[in-house]
Structure 1
Amino acid sequence: MIWTDKFDETIDFYTKIIGFIVGERNDDWGWASLYKDEVEIMIAKPNEHTPFEKPIFTGSFYFNTDQVDELWEELKDIAKICYEIENFEWEMREFAIYDNNGYLLQFGQDLEK
């Protein structure tokens, strides 16, 4: 679940930039479910019971893929880059971008497969 006060912008980012599809959307609730291949994420506006000044998340969202090079080519010129594509000693080829909220999205492919 990604909480955001930029509901429409976030849906646009994940659908137009990353290629997710809106499965369900309820504007009254401020909630949407998006999917791409076998990945599903939910976007939600913070509710009145949760203090929300800005997104605070101390981790990253990590997506395993078999097409990391293709994703890199699609995203490198249209997304804010955290680090460029690289092979790492832990046998992963990966890169990372930031979404429109500043959340870190990492994409990796296992080099041993």
Structure 2
Amino acid sequence: MAFNHLTPMLEVDNMDETIRFYEINLDFQCLDRVKNEWAVIQKDDVVIMFSNRTDKETSPETKLTGSLFIQSDDVDVLWQILKDKVDICNPIESLDHGMREFTIYDCNGYKLQFGQELDTN
């Protein structure tokens, strides 16, 4: 038995705003949508699904304790494109574990972390 891929499913309050954020800022494309209940977006090999939040009484805010990590082939160019357009969580930096990374917040407060392996040669 093999696992083929992982596609995160994130709950959102406003499907239109969420899809627009990813399309405008990150060049994703909405592949499919069912009203305000569900949507799937994609850019290159990265796929994310969204669902409408159904349990707002016991969970009043959207939350994810971690981040979505997206590898890029040119994180510095991506940083230049995004740094003045979105809310920054962590600015771009080269880290000891061999990655160059930065983290932003999407329109729901989810953390999107972008990274590229450093050339250690």
Within the candidate set 23, 45, 49, 1:42 is matched to: 49
User: C-alpha distance in 1, partners of 2:81/2:53?
Assistant: 31
- Kindly indicate whether residue 15 of structure 2 is the aligned counterpart of residue 7 of structure 1: yes
Aligned residues: 112
Of 84, 106, 113, 2:113 maps to 106
Question: In the TM superposition, what are the counterparts of 1:88-107 in structure 2 within 5 Å?
Answer: 88-107=95-114
Cα distance in 1 for partners of 2:28, 2:108 equals 16
Structure 2 distance, partners of 1:101, 1:62, is: 16
Deviations along 1:30-74, whole A, 9 cap, x unmatched?
A: 1111000000001110236x9441112110111011110111011
Q: Which runs of no fewer than 5 residues in structure 1 stay unpaired?
A: none
After TM superposition, what 4+ stretches of structure 1 lie above 4 angstroms from structure 2? none
**Aligned Cα root-mean-square deviation (Å):** 1.8
Per-residue CA deviations over 1:56-93 (Å, capped at 9, x if unaligned) read 21101110111101110110010000111110000000
Corresponding residue number in structure 1 for 2:5:
none
**Does residue 39 of structure 2 align to residue 32 of structure 1?**
yes
CA distance in 1, matches of 2:54, 2:111: 23
